[in-house]
Amino acid sequence: MNNPNPIPVTTVNADAILFDLDGVLIDSTTSIVQHWREWAEQHNLNLDFILQNAHGMRTIETMRIVAPHLNVEEEALRFTANEITDTAGVVSIEGARSLLTALPPASWAIVTSCGLDLVQARMGATGLPIPAVLVTADDVQNGKPSPEPYLAGARRMGLPVERCVVIEDAPAGIIAGKKAGMRVIAVASTHSPEELLASGADFVVAKLQNIHVTRSNYHSRLTIHLEGV
């Protein structure tokens, strides 16, 4: 018997997917909040204000917003060093492993606001594969919401921006992807669908498990299937 209420599916074609990391492929919320809480208490700062600005941005850029009176270069180095040694509670998001293993290795990359050492620590904690193309905070002068990280990702993959699709979960990353000229799929894991759409996302899904990918034989293009858009 046919399902009388089938889940609607939207398809998007691309040659490559550029993934954000935290909030898309891994969940490091517990660790992130704990480290920001300790830092806020140390400097007598408002934690809620920090967290409103932290997600999707490089640590140093968050600190420039919330504590411009501090030596943010030194503070960010110490903060990140503490994060690298603490991966307790860092887990892969459900559906991440199966999605990545379904993709040809040359068809995906990670573009993150974390530095390389932190990426390696968190990916190591989850056991997720590290792609050949990885753009970190160490690789750019300007982090998200600047388009620089995603432009670097497309350049390293040897593809024009219009053939790349971004998967993000935060407004800063969505804005970066759109400024780079890419289509953006947002996952409502850390922000509401309304916030994600207001930031410019082309599509919003409730969770990563609602994204499936098949590979066509035509120039090895990807067809991205989005459930419930």
Question: Active-site positions?
Answer: 20, 22
β 108-111/133-135 pair status:
parallel
- C-alpha to C-alpha distance for 45 and 37, rounded to whole angstroms: 9
3-class SS at 134?
A: strand
- C-alpha to C-alpha distance for 204 and 219, rounded to whole angstroms: 27
The one-character DSSP state at 68 is T
Element of type H or E holding 132: none
- C-alpha to C-alpha distance for 36 and 30, rounded to whole angstroms: 10
Could you tell me the end-to-end alpha-carbon distance of the chain, in angstroms, rounded to an integer?
Answer: 24
CA 1 to mean position of chain CA atoms? 39
- Closest of 112, 23, 113, 111 to residue 63, by C-alpha: 113
